[in-house]
Structure 1
Amino acid sequence: MHKLLTLTTLTLTLTAGAAGATTYPLTLTDDLGRQVTLRSEPKRIVSVLPSDTETLCALGVCDRLVGVDEFSDFPAQVTRLPKVGGLYNPNIEAMVALKPDLVIVSKYGKLAGPLTQAGIPVLAVNPETYDDVFSKTLLLGKVVNREAQAKTLVLNMKRDIARVEILTKNAVRKPTTYFEIDPTPYSIGPNSFMGVLLTKAGARNIIPASLGDFPKVDPELVVKANPELMLGLDLGTARSRPGWNSIQAVKAGRVLPIPKDLNTILGRPGPRLPQALRGLARLIHPELFR
């Protein structure tokens, strides 16, 4: 009887494990709207997007990466991998020479055509919105046969984000905020993944959603909105712009550059989203993190 129970348990365990595994050939629709079929589990992967590189490593398949784009720099081990250029200067010959069985690309740029012609499977996985970060993590988990790990990663990310939100919900005041990502100036809309983080960090974005996710901003709009806090530029730069001396944030000296490391994480819709949120919340509400 004991042996029978042991065998039954073993069978159930094996069946459960098999049920959680990805089966190949695997056909999916990528972010270019293409039907892509992977004949087998990819073991030699080139990633041309830093957020995808980070996600693959967070899923435990960093050792399958044989090449990355020039901006992929986390975790540290990927800095030792061959570089294959960037979005606008890709080195297709270098990619082909690495003999990958999958290249993961952005939906921007034009890599899919030439790589497919070279007989290499190409998948465009391009997280852009806040929700994309989680759905694309699950998608990549399926692609590399790490679905269980992907689900755990998503749950852990959401838990860590919720912990920060509990803190920021207790903020006495949520300052109206202008967030600059480029001195042109470009900013972030409330529905972009960075805009969602800004709100969760306990700020009120002055940029209306109607302007889009990463709009070029009329400087006069910032003057009229009169934000209490400005992020992503320094006080001297803000003071040098016509009319900006009258803005509350400038008068109060509440103009804060984003530290370099935090700026990098904030620009990547990937597994370090909770760290990005915590860093942003700490800038906006240092009183909550003492």
Structure 2
Amino acid sequence: MKKFWKIGLSAFLAVGLLAACNTKEATNDKPSSAEQQETSKVDQATFPMTITDAVGKDITLEAPPEKIVSLIPSNTEILFGLGLNDEIVGVTDNDDYPAEATKKDKVGGVDYNIEQIIALTPDIVFAHASGMSYSKGAIEQLEAAGVKVFVVADAKNFNETYTTIEQLGRATGKLEEAKKIVANMKDKIEEVETKLKGVEPKKVFLESSDEPQIYTAGKGTFMNEMLEMIHAENVAADVNDWYPIEAEQIIAKNPDVIVVAYNYVPNILTKIPQRPGFETVTAVKNKAIVQVDESMTSRQGPRLADGFEELAKAVYPEAFK
């Protein structure tokens, strides 16, 4: 599970989508044959239906589920966005948005309470591909008990996030609501891109955990895609995926902006400039160290477009005056 996504789950976990050259490419590319096939499946919103999850498992639903358990915050945000407050009966310990999610029965964090999930008698459980390294055993136990578990794909870009939202909308009988969410997200992306036309590209370093092990987003991450979409140069894109980086390497890369994508360290914006050698970094000299909401910029759900806007404002505040 990637460092970027893990920090979205909780601050105590180890910190952890495909790069596009611009927003138009990231959101309006002509879909591949596989994507076209998935879209055609999404458009078939009638019950009974058979849906195929991220691990290739077919699940048949006779009717829209009346009781749902979500095993990751991104799924929870999508389900609430679809208007399924009454249907959601269980979420994880890490679910903190929307506020209604905090009032639902908790089924564990990384270690799920299998007995409790079964006792909730869900019609379907929505798991996530990013957590398969630790949830595979739990999923097998649930399925052995007759519980239907749908593993949601780990979206790597906005197009895949849109597909996920529509897929969950279809599986829950809320396809029209899902399409509205996607349309609103696309409108927000376009609005931000318009404001960024003509900006002078900046060199950006993003960190997702504090010392002693600083992690950053490399090539092939959703964060790298978003940085490219706002015409920023990700100084850490010379390495794939999320990876640990030494302070000396950050200093050598000399970013114009440092983006902090976590909130578990108090006063982190004042701590970073105090790191040895950082007084020479342009971002420190210009006081261009900014913090973004870690969940809004990482969870593959409806708020991701707002997170994209927050990132753009953090890097190019002058474009939003």
TM-score, normalising length: structure 2: 0.76
- The aligned counterpart of 1:67 is 90
Instruction: After TM superposition, give the deviation of residue 235 of structure 1 in Å.
Output: 4.4
**Does the residue aligned with 1:133 lie in a helix, a strand or coil?**
helix
**Does the residue aligned with 1:207 lie in a helix, a strand or coil?**
coil
- The aligned counterpart of 1:187 is 216
- The aligned counterpart of 2:193 is 165
Give the unaligned 5+ runs of structure 2: 1-42, 261-267
- The aligned counterpart of 1:272 is 303
- The aligned counterpart of 1:10 is none
Q: Is the CA contact (8 Å cut-off) linking 1:198 and 1:205 kept in structure 2?
A: yes
Instruction: After TM superposition, give the deviation of residue 202 of structure 1 in Å.
Output: 4.3
Give the unaligned 5+ runs of structure 1: 1-19
| 1:31 and 2:66 correspond | no
Q: Is the CA contact (8 Å cut-off) linking 1:239 and 1:250 kept in structure 2?
A: no
Q: Is the CA contact (8 Å cut-off) linking 1:235 and 1:250 kept in structure 2?
A: no
- The aligned counterpart of 1:176 is 203
- The aligned counterpart of 2:21 is none
- The aligned counterpart of 2:155 is 128
Aligned partners of 2:318 and 2:285: how far apart in 1? 21
Aligned partners of 2:178 and 2:172: how far apart in 1? 10
- Structure of larger gyration radius: 1
Structure 1 counterpart of 2:172, one-letter code: V
Q: Is the CA contact (8 Å cut-off) linking 2:155 and 2:164 kept in structure 1?
A: no
1:203-235 Cα offsets, whole Å, 9 max, x none, are: 221112x52232222433322221111111524
- Taking the TM superposition and a 5 Å limit, the aligned residue runs for 1:77-156 are 77-86=100-109, 88-107=110-129, 108=131, 109-110=135-136, 111-130=138-157, 131-156=159-184
2:290 aligns with one of 242, 252, 256? 256
2:241 aligns with one of 213, 233, 246? 213
Aligned partners of 2:243 and 2:320: how far apart in 1? 31
- The aligned counterpart of 1:224 is 252
Q: Is the CA contact (8 Å cut-off) linking 1:70 and 1:85 kept in structure 2?
A: yes
**Does the residue aligned with 2:94 lie in a helix, a strand or coil?**
coil
**Range moving further from structure 2, 104-113 or 189-198:** 189-198
Q: Is the CA contact (8 Å cut-off) linking 1:165 and 1:201 kept in structure 2?
A: yes
Query: Quick one: structure 1 residues 146 and 156, their matched pair in 2 at CA, closer, same or farther if it must change by over 3 Å?
Result: same
Q: Is the CA contact (8 Å cut-off) linking 2:203 and 2:232 kept in structure 1?
A: yes
**Range moving further from structure 2, 216-225 or 131-140:** 216-225
Q: Is the CA contact (8 Å cut-off) linking 1:47 and 1:103 kept in structure 2?
A: yes
Instruction: After TM superposition, give the deviation of residue 238 of structure 1 in Å.
Output: 4.2
Percent sequence identity is 31
Q: Calculate the aligned-residue CA RMSD, in Å.
A: 2.1
Q: Is the CA contact (8 Å cut-off) linking 2:298 and 2:304 kept in structure 1?
A: no
Structure 1 counterpart of 2:50, one-letter code: T
Does 1 or 2 have the higher relative contact order (CA < 8 Å, sep 6+)?
2
**Does the residue aligned with 1:266 lie in a helix, a strand or coil?**
coil
**Does the residue aligned with 2:220 lie in a helix, a strand or coil?**
coil
